[in-house]
Amino acid sequence: MEDKHPTKYYDSLSEFQEAQQILHNYQKTHNIIRNDYLNLIKLTFESHDNQKSFNTLYRACLRELFSLIESDLFNLNRLDCYLGYSDKDRFITKFKKNFKQISKTWEKEDIQKEYFDSKLERLKKIKTERDKITHPKNPNDFKNTTIEDLEIFKMIFDEYDEFFNRMMNGFFIGMRNYPIN
């Protein structure tokens, strides 16, 4: 019997069990990275009086945020791959297509649209900043971070975190023809 909640159904027991394992490991991975990130943000705010440490920790925050998001994209894609997926797709392409696919399957298009319309541009901007420090071309790619930079960055994380939590709320998988006779 199909549930009244938006659910992705699998046709075989092996596909369903694989999806359960992916979801289980994914949730654990997400929570580990997220908790590390939250600790890193706290340490960064606490180090604002030491510019050298503050700069270093801020750059670590930039990298860690995208580690979290890229892990989310990888695992969500394993649960519900978008048409034409390629590992070579650029980050923003994967982000958009992946969350559009997930929102369609789990009937969360309104949540996805709201985030994309009002908050995605800020994430793109911080991604550009992350790219500069991850693939620096010259010393000017590294800036002295201000507390305002960190507060904006924290806001961008909070927006993504809220979006992600809303997307994952009521996230069900199931198996057709269960129980098996």
pLDDT at 126: 95
Instruction: Indicate the DSSP class of residue 47.
Output: T
Residues 121, 20: Cα–Cα separation, whole Å: 33
pLDDT at 179: 63
Residues 8, 118: Cα–Cα separation, whole Å: 28
pLDDT digit string (tens) for 76-94?
Answer: 999 999 999 988 999 999 9
Low-confidence ranges of the chain (pLDDT < 70): 1-4, 178-181
Burial zone of 177 (CB within 10 Å; 0-12 exposed, 13-18 middle, 19+ buried)? exposed
pLDDT at 2: 47
Give the position of tokens 């800020």. 122
CB atoms within 10 A of CB 108: 21
pLDDT at 99: 97
Query: Which of helix, strand or coil describes residue 57?
Result: helix
Tokens of 115: 């985030």
Residue type, 127: K
pLDDT at 3: 47
